[in-house]
Amino acid sequence: MQGAYSTYFDNLFLALRMARPEYKAQAQYALRAGHEAALGKTFDPLLADLETAINGFDENLADRNQSTAAGTDAYHLARTAWLVFVDDTMKDYVTPKLRKLPVYADFKQFGKSKLAGLAQARLLTESKALLALYTAQQAGLYPTLGAEARKLYAALVASDETRDTQAATIDGAILDLADDRAAIARAQYRLKAQLELTFDKAEKVYSFFDFSKAKVNKSGKVKIVVVPTPA
């Protein structure tokens, strides 16, 4: 069971809220400070571990929670184009030509207002059924209806698949990012622990680290975010 003081034992380097270039730079600062202080052989393996972790860290990778905006924008554009097509086809062709026929009820269940409120997967399913209806009824509407509808529906499906692929890639990258960030955090945490055994004054230990780029809140306290490490 965690006690009232358990947070004092957390790895603060794992929780620092910094962009990747800044996170690497603060680790490099600690490495330089350690070497320049000539701390002795006890620190050699600790500094070597930190250097290895830094070398395995790519500051040019995207931060955690990287946006999938590009894929999302493409999906929204394709979705909008499809819904506009559905609405225009209903008003300009389906209603004027099929309103008095039984098949009109089939079209009514795929109105724009209904499709617009559907979640991603359901929209694709319902739209596929509407596409089949367009193809079956194009002779009574206009000859190229099926082809035009298929083109727009294909774009909707393609943009959705692209968005899913990007999301999966980013999910995998998040684990990698947590891994390399955690490696630096562990190395710095161990270095800090040995520094605390070596120096009595906290100010001296603090001088080996650079927290100047860490984000702070309005109270002036360092703002931290927990970065989970993979199991």
CB 14 within 8 A of CB 227: yes
pLDDT (0 to 100) of residue 78: 86
What are the structural domain ranges in the chain? 6-65+176-206, 69-169
% of the chain with per-residue pLDDT over 90: 51
Higher model confidence: residue 172 or residue 69?
172
Q: Which two tokens stand for residue 14?
A: 């794992």
- pLDDT tens readout for residues 107-129: 999 989 889 888 778 888 999 99
DSSP 67: -
- pLDDT tens readout for residues 138-159: 999 999 999 999 999 998 888 7
Provide mean pLDDT across the span 10-26: 86
pLDDT (0 to 100) of residue 66: 42
pLDDT (0 to 100) of residue 67: 40
Distance CA 71, CA 79 (A): 12
pLDDT (0 to 100) of residue 18: 82
pLDDT (0 to 100) of residue 224: 40
pLDDT (0 to 100) of residue 58: 79
The β-bridge partners of 16 are 224
Distance CA 179, CA 21 (A): 16
DSSP letters spanning 182-214: HHHHHHHHHHHHHHHHH-S-HHHHHTT---TTS
Among 92-96, 101-105, 116-120, where is mean pLDDT lowest? 116-120
% of the chain with per-residue pLDDT over 70: 77
Provide mean pLDDT across the span 203-230: 65
Cα dist. 94→101, 175, 217, 220 in Å? 10, 50, 58, 63
Distance CA 200, CA 207 (A): 13
Distance CA 145, CA 152 (A): 11
pLDDT (0 to 100) of residue 44: 96
Look at the block and give the residue holding tokens 């083109």.
151
Distance CA 230, CA 168 (A): 16
pLDDT (0 to 100) of residue 178: 65
